Every structure is written in C-alpha cells, then in structure tokens.
Amino acid sequence: MITFLVSIVLLIVGYFTYGKYIEKMFGVKDERPTPAHDQRDNIDYVPMTTNKNSLIQLLNIAGVGPIFGPIMGALYGPVAFIWIVLGSIFAGAVHDYLTGMISIRNKGAHLPELAGKFLSNVMKHFVNVFTLLLLLLTGTVFVTSPALLLHSLMDGKIALGIIIFVIFLYYFLSTVLPIDKIIGKIYPIFGLILMISAIGIFVRLLMTGAEIPELTLKNMHPDSAPIFPLLFFTITCGALSGFHATQSPIISRTTNNEKNGRMIFYGMMIAEGIIAMIWAAAAMSLFGGYGGLQEVLAKGEAALVVSEASTMLLGSVFGTLAILGVIVLPITSGDTSFRSARMILADYFNFGQKKIWKRFAIAIPMFVISFILTRIDFTILWRYFSWANQTTATIALWVGVMYLLLANKNFYVALIPALFMTWNIFTYILSQPIGLGMDLTLSYWLSIGLTILWSMYFYYLYRKNSENNIELEHKIGLSTVSKY
C-alpha cells in the first residue's frame, strides 16, 4: 500500500515541479494568439475554457488504455508502478505537452504535418499513413468494445446490432459537427462518470486495506514474459502513448492561451497516470496473486477484471456505475479518433472543412471502411497496434527533440525518452513473433545499433533544418504568425 500511495503523490508532485519546469523551458507567450483565435472557423478552431479543454483532452487520450493496459501490466508486479510514474512524468506528459504546444505554434497542425516540417517530407507521408491506420483501427475497436460491454450490462435486452448502430451514429455526428456542439456539451457528463468511477475504486482500496504489493524490481509475471520490451507495450496510455499525439492537436485548436497548455496537456497525462495506478493496484490485490489475475484475464481479458473488481469493491449498484465509467473511455476516444482522422486527411489534401459537405466527403468513406472492418477478422493487423502506437509516440518525441534543438532549448527532456523508446520499438519488432522472432539478447544489441543509425540520420536532418534561418523562425514560432 505504501508504494501505491507514494506513487500517487509522486505523480501529483511531478505536475507541480517537472511540469512547471517543462512549461518554463518551452517558453509560453501569453500575448501570442492561439489557433483558436487567429484561425477560428467555429468548426474545429473554437476557443473553449481551460476546464472544458482539459476534460476533453483527458477523455480523448484515455480510451481503455489506462485501465486495460495497467491491468495486464499488473502481471509484472510493482515494477509496473515504476513505469507508470516515471513514464507519465518524464515521457508521456512531456510527449503530450510538446505535441500540443508545438501544434499550437504551427496553426494546430497534426503529427503528419509536424513530422514533415521538422523531420522530412518522407516522414510526413509515412506518418500520415501510419496515424490514419492507427486512428481507423482505434475507432473501429472502440465501436465494438463498448457495444459488447453495454450489451452485457443490459443482459442482452437490446440487440448488439442496434447498440453498434447508435454508437456509429454518435461517432459520425461528433466527427462532422462543430466540436463545441456535441463533444463540448456531452463530455462533462462523461467526465463526471469517469471521476466517480476512479475515485470510488481508489477510496474502496484504502477502506478495505487492499494488500497492494510493495516495491520490488523482480519480474512477477507467471509466464516470465520479459519486462524489456514487453511492459512498455503493455502499459501505454497510462505512461506513454502515441495515440495521444493524434489527440492533442484537436485541443490545440481550441486552447485560449498558451499558458493553459500545462494544465491541458501535461496535467491530463498525469491524471491518466493516476487512473492507471488505481487499476493496476486493484488488479494486483484482488485476485489472490498474479496467478489468480492471469486466470481471470484468460477467461475474459481485462474487461472481466474491471467487472469483477468494480463489483467486489463497490457492490452491484456503484459497481455498475464504475463499469459505465470504463465504457465511457473507449466511446470518448473513438469519437475523436474519427474526428482526428478527418482533420488529418483534410490537412493532407488541403481540403477546407468549413462547409459541411466537405466534412461529409471525408467522413462517409471513413465510416464505410470502419463498418467493413467490424464485419471481418482483423486480429492479425490488430496485433501490431501496440507497436504502431509506441512507434507513433517515438516519432512525436523526435519531433519534440528537433523543435527544442532548433529553438536552442533543453532538448534532453525529449531526447532521453526518445532514445529509450527507439531502442524499445526496434527490440520489440526484432524479437517478438509478430516481427522477426529473433533471440531477445541479440535483439537488444541489434536495436542499439539501429538506434545509433537513426540518431545519425536525425543529426543530418538537424543540420539541414538549421541551415535556413528564415524557415527556422517559422518552424519554432519566433515569427508572429507560424507558417503552415
């Protein structure tokens, strides 16, 4: 229990200390107009309050990641707490803050556009395909997973097909309508359910004196699955996730002032880390050890753990409310997955979105493809999701490194997690069955070499970027209006 409570405290302290440092180092400019004002179109660019933006950001980035990921990561034992705390403070929150703020400095640009501007045009096209696939897969899964949970919660009284249709309809409307018309109005309700769910589980863990394991570096996984690299691909949204890089630019277009960025981007990642801690602790303490947890996971994946933990701690009534809080998470990430995909495609093809028929022109084909995906088995493709997700996070971190280098700021805050994750994504794809299936030790060493090669290429890109001083001013936001 002490390790758990200390971890929660460290996350909060991290926001007020390291988060403050990151903000000061980046150099916010109160007087600089944000895209919400100088690009306002009342569709995607709409000024909204900090509280509303923060809540939308939290619900956007959360998905089921900070719950299902930590539950599965709990099999590794308390070492999962270390990754959640250090990952959230020094990697995930930095990643989210830099992505959001650099987007603000570049007219609300999404990751593919930022990758093209700060890395290369080749990276722009690669990241565009990569993120669109990631978003489409996420949106599709976040139709089916909450639909199944709702279908089960209602004892099958409403047909699964009807539930899927209603969720699809909501997703479509939230994708094409102005952000403040549906998302801006319904998220406070969803946010309240989420907060009650997380706080309820936290309080009951304390009241029941749950036997949450204390800190140890020992790998407790029943199958001895290696911590490196698997833990960092199991717990993603609760520590570091590339999905966040697709969501932060949505809110960069609705942020009133640059000084709101720490609360919105850095703070909400910390909040997500706290949610991850709560569910990891619940998973470690309620099922009679790691073997018991593994048995429950084998029966029905993480959703069954959520259901049983909620009922065990909160009873049937409040437990149902907690489950609703979990259902809210994929829905509030699925809607913005499609919205983000629409915005990325519009930016890529320079296809203005002020007229509603233009939004329909992009959204309708996307939803047709997504519906088709719900009818077929794309399990093999989904196996690559975790790797694709963390690869996206790594690219976003390298964009942050480049920005800070060009702006002559402390780039090490992004470089260290970028190097670490580059090594991890190479190791993962070399060693795992979905990749080359090589010997793990050999993969470690080969990944070091590949990371060095990438770093050398990155340095070449930096030298190339730093040669054009006029373009440099636009890129890092030294000019009054950023070039897009």
Tell me how far apart the terminal alpha carbons of the chain are, to the nearest angstrom.
Answer: 50
Question: Nearest 5°: phi and psi at 143?
Answer: -90, -50
Give yes or no for residue 40 having a pLDDT over 90: yes
pLDDT band at 71 (very low <50, low <70, confident <90, very high): confident
Higher per-residue pLDDT: 296 or 336? 336
3-state secondary structure of 251: helix
Distance of CA 345 to the CA centre of its chain: 20
**Residue found by looking up tokens 């696939």 in the block:** 133
Which contiguous run of DSSP H or E holds residue 90?
Answer: none
**Residue found by looking up tokens 């915005």 in the block:** 343
C-alpha R_g of the chain: 21
Question: Nearest 5°: phi and psi at 349?
Answer: -100, 5
CA angle at residue 428 from 423 to 431, to 5 degrees?
Answer: 115
CA atoms of 270 and 11, how far apart (whole Å) = 6
Whether 56 and 211 have beta carbons less than 8 Å apart is answered as no
Q: Give 295's contacts (C-beta < 8 A, 6+ positions apart).
A: 287
pLDDT value of residue 102: 96
Taking each helix axis from N to C end, the angle separating 385-406 and 121-153, rounded to the nearest 10 degrees, works out to: 140
Q: Minimal CA–CA distance to 110: which of 139, 88, 130, 90?
A: 130
Tell me the pLDDT of the chain averaged across its residues. Answer: 88
**Residue found by looking up tokens 């999962």 in the block:** 80
Distance of CA 49 to the CA centre of its chain: 22
For residue 449 the two structure tokens come to 């070499």
pLDDT value of residue 471: 59
State pLDDT tens for residues 229-264. 999 999 998 899 999 999 999 999 999 999 999 999
Give yes or no for residue 482 having a pLDDT over 70: no
pLDDT value of residue 480: 39
pLDDT value of residue 477: 63
User: Could you tell me the residue ranges of all domains in the chain?
Assistant: 2-383
Residues 276-299: what's their mean pLDDT?
A: 83
How many CA atoms lie within 13 Å of 334's alpha carbon, on the beta-carbon side? 26
Burial bucket for residue 152 (CB in 10 Å: 0-12, 13-18, 19+):
middle
CA atoms of 255 and 250, how far apart (whole Å) = 9
Q: Minimal CA–CA distance to 113: which of 474, 458, 454?
A: 474
pLDDT value of residue 481: 38
3-state secondary structure of 163: helix
CA atoms of 418 and 281, how far apart (whole Å) = 28
CA atoms of 134 and 63, how far apart (whole Å) = 13
Give yes or no for residue 170 having a pLDDT over 60: yes
Burial bucket for residue 274 (CB in 10 Å: 0-12, 13-18, 19+):
buried
Which contiguous run of DSSP H or E holds residue 75?
Answer: none
C-alpha distance from residue 447 to each of 160, 258, 393, 416, 454 (Å): 45, 38, 17, 16, 10
Q: Say what the pTM is.
A: 0.92
pLDDT value of residue 472: 59
For residue 170 the two structure tokens come to 């909501």
CA atoms of 253 and 108, how far apart (whole Å) = 5
pLDDT value of residue 302: 62
Q: Minimal CA–CA distance to 145: which of 60, 243, 57, 64?
A: 64
**Residue found by looking up tokens 């900090």 in the block:** 50
Q: Give 154's contacts (C-beta < 8 A, 6+ positions apart).
A: none
Q: Minimal CA–CA distance to 139: which of 348, 456, 366, 402?
A: 366
For residue 187 the two structure tokens come to 């998220």
CA atoms of 80 and 74, how far apart (whole Å) = 6
pLDDT value of residue 484: 32
* Amino acid letter for position 334: G
Return the CATH number of the domain spanning residue range 2-383: 1.20.1740.10
**Residue found by looking up tokens 């909501």 in the block:** 170
